[in-house]
Amino acid sequence: MTMLSPARGTRASGGGGRAAGGGRGRRRARGHGRFRGLWEASPLTYLTLVVAIVLSVFPIYWMIVVATRTNDVVADVPPPLLPGGNFGENVGRLFDNPDAYFAKGLLNSAIASSAVTISTVFFASLAGFAFAKLRFRGKNALLLTIIATMMIPIQMGIIPLYMIMVELGWQNQLQAVIVPFLVTGFGVFMMRQYAAQAVPDELIEAARVDGCTTFGIYWRVVLPALRPAAGVLGLFTFMQTWNEFMWPLAVLNPENPTVQLSINNLANAYFKDYTLMFAGTTVAILPLLVVFIVFGRQIIGGIMEGAIKA
């Protein structure tokens, strides 16, 4: 079964027009004019995709339009389609708002997301390296249990998880949204798959002959080789932690929120003050948008390589 990596090893045949069958297929595609059009995009293709992109981007654009205007905007007919000049003022109201705890929410989310990301990448790559390249008893059985854990949705255990936090005295503490997510089975599995093919055994052997300890090999040889996969895992982990809603809602108080709970606080109290709320949602997705603009290609690659449902 190749469910988790539908694209592996097929990169070369991508890109549309190139025939996958090697020289013969290509010659055939070129030689017979009637097949040349088989993979060409028609104007209809472009039209379909442009419509899809507009639908896909419009709500985000609309959010920014409302966030930069004054509140009477929602009653306007037809609705305005260009941004206005009130963004700074709206964001000011956002941070002054006593019920949202917005600055606190941003800080908490930044700390929690960074901590979970660094820790997940570190522990997942350590374990992935061990599973891919080290010899130890019970390895195969342990790897199977890791794959099995990927099927269990963590929300199912949310009630006892909350009880554990009460026992530990971590209720309303930031570590409650960090510690349970320090490393995931998905991360370990992903790093193991990558390490198996990206790190040559000879390199590890050579480092060992030179007197490197196992951790030294990980730090100096393996981790640098894993950098691309670690980057993708880090991106997805950060996005997922930043987005988490249900568990923080259960375990944190409204006065000590993550940024998603700050938005929720606003929605509770000011659900008709759309410019305020949309300024909040815009600020809350800003880091994700920056990540997206800078690492868009890697995100696409990560999705197409495997499957990550945030």
Partner 1 sequence: MTTDLRPATGTGPPPPAPPGARPGLRARLARIDLRVTPYLFISPFYAVFILFGLFPLLYTLWVSLHDWGLASGTREWAGLENYRYLLTDGDFWHATVNTIGIFVLATVPQLVLALFIANTLARRMRGSTLFRIGMVAPLVTSTAAVAIVFTQMFDRDYGMINWVLGLVGSGDIDWQASRGWSWVAIAMMVDWRWTGYNALIYLAAMQAIPRDLYEAAAIDGASRIRQFWQITVPMLQPTIIFTVIIATIGGLQLFTEPVLFGVGTTNRMDGGAVHQFQTITMYMYDNAFTNDRYGYGATVAWALFLMIIVFSLVNFLFVRRTGGTK
Which residues within the stretch 156-215 sit at the binding site for partner 1 (CB under 8 A)?
Answer: 156-164, 166, 179-185, 188, 193, 196, 201-202, 204-205, 208-209, 211, 213-215
Minimum distance of partner 1 from residue 180's CB (angstroms) = 4
What sign has the CA pseudo-torsion 177, 183, 185, 186? Answer: positive
Contact between 95 and partner 1 per CB under 8 A: no
10 Å Cβ neighbour count for 8? 13
Contact between 299 and partner 1 per CB under 8 A: yes
x/- contact string, 219-248, with partner 1 (CB under 8 A)?
--------------------x--xx-xx--
Question: How many residues sit close enough to partner 1 to count as binding (CB under 8 A)?
Answer: 134
- Apex CA 292: angle with CA 290 and CA 295, to 5°? 105
x/- contact string, 9-38, with partner 1 (CB under 8 A)?
-x--xxxxx-xxx---x--xx----xx--x
Contact between 305 and partner 1 per CB under 8 A: yes
Contact between 5 and partner 1 per CB under 8 A: yes
155, 160, 150, 201: which is closest to 309 by C-alpha?
A: 150
- Apex CA 298: angle with CA 295 and CA 302, to 5°? 135
Q: Which of residues 44-73 bind partner 1 (CB under 8 A)?
A: 45-46, 48-49, 52-53, 55-57, 59-60, 62-63, 66
Q: Which of residues 100-119 bind partner 1 (CB under 8 A)?
A: none
Per the CB < 8 A criterion, the answer to whether 128 and 188 are in contact is yes
Contact between 153 and partner 1 per CB under 8 A: yes
Residue with tokens 């759309």: 274
Q: Which residues contact 30 (CB under 8 A, 6 or more apart)?
A: 36
Three-state DSSP state, 54: helix
Looking at the Cβ atoms of 227 and 271, the one nearer to partner 1 is 271
| Both tokens assigned to 134 | 């080290």
What is the rounded CA–CA span in Å between residue 80 and residue 68? 11
Minimum distance of partner 1 from residue 73's CB (angstroms) = 9
Minimum distance of partner 1 from residue 272's CB (angstroms) = 8
